[in-house]
Structure 1
């Protein structure tokens, strides 16, 4: 599948930028020019101006492989936000030679398995998940792209529910940038989101380097300069080690 792309230019090592669920390549317009290299962003299948297609992780990775080859991105650093951050781990498993992997708050769905929430009684987790799933159910009725087929497939995907088992297998240098603030949510859901973050801190694989940032899940638009600095430092430290 031929993906729509934006080449932000730049010289040096290539960067492949992957947006989050429901987003598109325009998400990187502020951050990408601040990267120390040649940055290219894509619209994933079913998003932006890329064609529609069923969501199969291997097929999505095939799309990215074809794009990298077509654009002559040789062993790119892969940076992804949210869904794109989950994909970075899968890319690195397929490409163990990947020089660096950066996930920007891409790790577990907000409605992950109840055991993945830390420090909150099980009954409160169950009640919070019921409320959050009801909100997501209502939102599904208003979204036209990506398709309901893609959204439904991703919502129950084991990899999106919890990408940490995938991340644990990655041998490439791996940085995960974790948001420390919640998106605007009803007050009664704040404890659930805090418990979600606590579970991530508890369960993160040892091979993943974690940096926290004063931002919400929308960090790419909120803190592009700080993120670019974190990414550039991480990548340069790998090459200069």
Structure 2
């Protein structure tokens, strides 16, 4: 599948930029020009201006392979936001020569296994998960792109629900930029969001000792909230990856 894409810059370190679920390549418009190199941002299949198609991890990675060949990106640094961050890890597994991969707050679905939360009583955890799942279900009713087949697949995909086991297999230098503030949610769901983050902080050092974690004072929308800071973090990581 040929993806819609946009190129930023003309030389230096190549970057491949991957947006999150429901997003498109426009999310990188401010950040991409601040990277130290040549960047290509894509619309993933079923998103933005790219064609529709069934979601299968290997097929999506094939799309990205086709894009890198088309643009002549040899061993790009892959930077992904949310879903794109999970794909960045998968790309690094498929391409062991990948010089570095960065996930911008792409790690676990907000509705993951109850064991992945920390510090919340079980009854409150179960109530919060039921409430959040109901909100997500209602939200999906209003979304036309990506289509229901993609959102349904991802919502239950083990890699989307918890990408930490994928991260743990990465041999390329890997950076996870973790948001420390919550997106606007109903007040009764704030404890669930805090427990989700606490579970990540608990589990990352043991499950993914290979992953470098950088926390940032931003929400999940960090790419548009703090583009200059994110670009600086990525540039520093890439330039110092041999010490990561």
Same fold (TM over 0.5): yes
1:10 and 1:33 in contact (8 A); partners too: no
Separation of aligned partners in 2, 1:188 and 1:170: 36
Q: Secondary structure at the match of 1:102?
A: strand
Q: Which residue of 2 aligns with 1:211?
A: 214
Q: Which residue of 1 aligns with 2:88?
A: 88
Separation of aligned partners in 1, 2:119 and 2:243: 40
The reply on whether 1:225 has 2:228 as its aligned counterpart is yes
Aligned pairs for 1:29-178 (under 5 A) are 29-178=29-178
Instruction: Tell me whether 118-127 or 168-177 shows the greater mean CA deviation.
Output: 118-127
Offset of 1:122 from its aligned partner?
Answer: 1.4
TM-score (norm 2): 0.97
TM-score (norm 1): 0.98
Separation of aligned partners in 2, 1:175 and 1:40: 19
Separation of aligned partners in 2, 1:87 and 1:97: 16
In structure 2, runs of 5+ residues without a counterpart are none
Distance 1:167 1:240, change over 3 A: closer
Paired positions, count = 241
Offset of 1:63 from its aligned partner?
Answer: 0.3
C-alpha RMSD over aligned residues: 1.0
Separation of aligned partners in 2, 1:124 and 1:68: 46
Deviation string, structure 1 residues 28-63 (Cα, Å, up to 9, x no partner): 000000000001100000000000000000000000
